[in-house]
Amino acid sequence: MDPNEFGTSTVPLQHAPYGPITEENLKGANKGKVAVVTGAAQGIGAGIAESLAKSGANVAILDLSVEKQAKTKEACEAQGVKVGVYACDVTDQEKVVATIDKIEQELGPIDILVNNAGILDQRPLIMSTFDSFWKQIEVNFKGPLLTIHTMLPRFRDRGAGCIINIASRSATVDVPMTLGYVTSKAALTRATHTLQREMALDGLDPAICLYALHPGGVLTGMGGTGAGQDVLDKYGDVRDEKFFMDLFKDPPALCGQTCAWLASGQGKELRGLFIDCRQDVTRLLEKGRDALLKEKRNVLTVNFLDGYANEP
């Protein structure tokens, strides 16, 4: 992989909470709301849960085990909000529905859903088992769609809801050895665009808002990992994520505070779009929703030769 292949921003990127998304500006912005965060045991998910708690939301945190979420629970409770901790495999439909039911019984109706749980197996498909490849599709795409499918009827009945899908810049680029990851994140991003249009069909736009959010370069158990030794032995210098450790310079709070800002309703004009949390949301809002949609900004698209169009 060569990062230069994808371009370099000429506008400075944000690498810490800024302006409208700071804790001070979002204090109480989500007071009384109930937020669900999947994959919340550590890293980005933990940062999202804590930011939502700081903005006043009561938080339900989910991961494969309750024990691994102890630190996240403690950090959220320190903000004076209610916190529920739940063990849930997001690829198991019965478990997802039962967990959502339990959350609403214990914390109240859910207002915010953040689909963060994800996995990465950095191997070329030809050296991977199909089960390993498909597991990434299940966790990264099926999981969010199961939680969304469970929540949408409830949001419809209440006439409001916010869904934030933690996507990735990987949804927009071709990176060898990450087929399961880039495919699942592209699918999740496309689903976000399409589901927002479905909300419009049912008269639920903008009452129900969906967003696809790139969390930035966060050094977690997944971000910055390297390929296996057998891959290195076969291909040599593969320029994997570990090679580009200097790109991982964003704290979980940058994504977390962006989620809290979106959940507050201040980013409704960006609903249905792909957002990079390093890019100042003020600039996007200044561009305007109509212009963003007309110019196909912040959506997955294909550019053809001049004169050709993506005809039906």
Select which of 18, 86, 181, 235 is catalytic: 181
Residues in the chain: 312
- Give the pLDDT confidence score for residue 42 in this predicted structure: 95
Neighbours of 126 (CB within 10 A): 7
20-37 pLDDT tens trace:
999 999 999 999 999 999
200-249 pLDDT tens trace:
999 999 999 999 999 998 976 665 567 788 888 888 876 655 556 667 78
- Give the pLDDT confidence score for residue 262 in this predicted structure: 98
Question: What are the tokens at 160?
Answer: 């409001």
Q: Is 181 a catalytic residue?
A: yes
Read off the pLDDT of each residue in 127-145 and give the average, rounded to a whole number: 97
* Dist. CA 132–CA 35, nearest whole Å: 31
> How far is C-alpha 51 from the geometric centre of its chain's CA atoms?
14
Q: Out of 69-73, 158-162, 172-176, 195-199, which region has the weakest mean confidence (pLDDT)?
A: 172-176
What does pTM read for this prediction? Answer: 0.95
- Give the pLDDT confidence score for residue 18 in this predicted structure: 98
| CB-based contact 181:170 (threshold 8 Å) | yes
What are the DSSP calls for 69-98, one per residue? GHHHHHHHHTTT--EEEEE--TT-HHHHHH
From edge to edge, which strands make up the β-sheet containing 58-63?
83-87, 58-63, 34-38, 112-115, 161-166, 208-214, 274-276
What Rg, from alpha-carbon coordinates, does the chain have? Answer: 19
**Residue 21: which of 275, 256, 248, 209 has the closest Cα?**
256
Confidence of residue 6 (pLDDT cuts 50, 70, 90): confident
Q: Would you list the domain boundaries of the chain?
A: 14-294
The CATH class for the domain spanning 14-294 reads alpha beta
pLDDT exceeds 80 at position 1: no
- Give the pLDDT confidence score for residue 242 in this predicted structure: 59
pLDDT: is 249 or 119 the higher one?
A: 119
The CA distances from residue 299 to 9, 25, 156, in Å, are 17, 28, 25
